[in-house]
Structure 1
């Protein structure tokens, strides 16, 4: 059984970790996100500019070393992430810490995740709990997926197993299973996680690692039906009829397919309010 790693991290080394951020326009969001990293060692960042107009410019931030990889045209997040993973591997990095423009990192996130991965070589991806917030920073609800690999495998379709922009990945494992791919558009994260779980463990640190901005213009909103269709296809591909949570996850995703996005967000907010009242 994989056990949580202590929150206190000593002898911090981050030279083999790079933040991987795909970006399409949104210069201000890029700057705000990168400025949120608070670590005890220099932070390496690779921004994959997915054909922005004007091009993304690397901000100057103390303790943050930034490189911009420019894609020739806008090809979508799946291809941007694939190119980013390959570029980081070529540069000798061991871990890729995902984040999206507009989200904010909790202090010490990179050091904690790196320490966990170093201590658990069979874990290919580790994520953290996430606070969902509005564009102006108001808290909405917490995403708290299970910590243990066994629980993640069992509930992978009923609950989000790993929060993608809060996840740090073992680069060689990602490339071993075929890297990010565009086969399941707008669900490239779940596709990757499921392939990783076939050969490795995945886990969560049960503490806050990210403030996730609920952006009405993001993938989950503008490409929602495509995302749900891709998720359904993945559920059918990996479906285990002996697992109750696979049935529950299938029913949940069908409900998502039929429920308008705005109504779904209102339901989530009301459930969170009721839970915390």
Structure 2
């Protein structure tokens, strides 16, 4: 059977985790995919970790310059010819039935633009920190998305035609590019989250997250403002911006 999913993973200095992340995709119960791995100018041993894998489904692209996640995803999106695009991060682990469950959902919900799922977050020792509890239905997601991003980027599974129709990711967004995309997508197409946790997020470097917290909050607020400015969501939901602005101020103080 011809591949009908393209899995996109951009790697930047993930030598500790990228091997396990790649394995989790190669061990999927749904085998009909192309796995595009972009080394985005890593300065550690990520490249040597990636080159250990010889699976014919892998397309490895080694870049010398770091351009960031948004640019790299858009570059490869232009080359995608499969029906679906699945995201994956180099520090996460997909459950073996992840692609199968998301593929089944999208083939039975032809009008849907994307499907995500819940996920688990673990620490460096593998101990569970928490599990997400995202809204599941398109109606509930649309009602809550302007308050907070109800998706995990690395578990998203898109219909390629719709993703390209939207123009892919907005390259003005260095952070929260997924939130901006999903605000645009959810305004025009049905979306969903599967209740199961189909991904494990490795929370290894809290200091790094702290460093970028203000930038993430800033770009998330910009995505919300843009969505309201476009008229994609009811004006009364602008009250959610007060929460975002408060979080932005708190992040700035930190």
Q: TM-score, normalised by structure 1?
A: 0.79
CA gap 1:164/1:171 in 2 versus in 1, 3 angstroms = same
| Shift of residue 18, structure 1, vs aligned partner | 2.2
Please identify runs of 4+ aligned residues in structure 1 that moved more than 6 A.
none
CA gap 1:68/1:221 in 2 versus in 1, 3 angstroms = farther
Aligned mates of 1:217, 1:68 — CA distance in 2: 29
Q: TM-score, normalised by structure 2?
A: 0.86
Aligned mates of 1:50, 1:200 — CA distance in 2: 31
Aligned mates of 2:216, 2:101 — CA distance in 1: 30
CA gap 1:63/1:73 in 2 versus in 1, 3 angstroms = closer
Question: What 5-or-longer segments of structure 1 have no aligned partner?
Answer: 1-12, 264-277
Aligned to 2:70: 78
* SS in structure 1 at match of 2:10: strand
CA gap 1:41/1:187 in 2 versus in 1, 3 angstroms = closer
What is the root-mean-square deviation in Å for CA atoms of aligned residues?
Answer: 2.4
Aligned to 1:216, which of 205, 209, 218?
205
Aligned to 2:134: 145
Question: What 5-or-longer segments of structure 2 have no aligned partner?
Answer: 229-233
Aligned to 1:44, which of 34, 59, 77?
34
Aligned mates of 2:161, 2:209 — CA distance in 1: 28
Question: Where do residues 245-264 of structure 1 align in structure 2 (5 Å cutoff)?
Answer: 246-247=238-239, 249-260=240-251
Aligned to 1:225: 214
Question: Where do residues 60-209 of structure 1 align in structure 2 (5 Å cutoff)?
Answer: 60=52, 65-87=57-79, 89=80, 92-209=81-198
Aligned mates of 1:199, 1:22 — CA distance in 2: 27
| Shift of residue 231, structure 1, vs aligned partner | 1.2
| Shift of residue 104, structure 1, vs aligned partner | 0.7
1:145–1:159 contact (8 Å) kept in structure 2: no
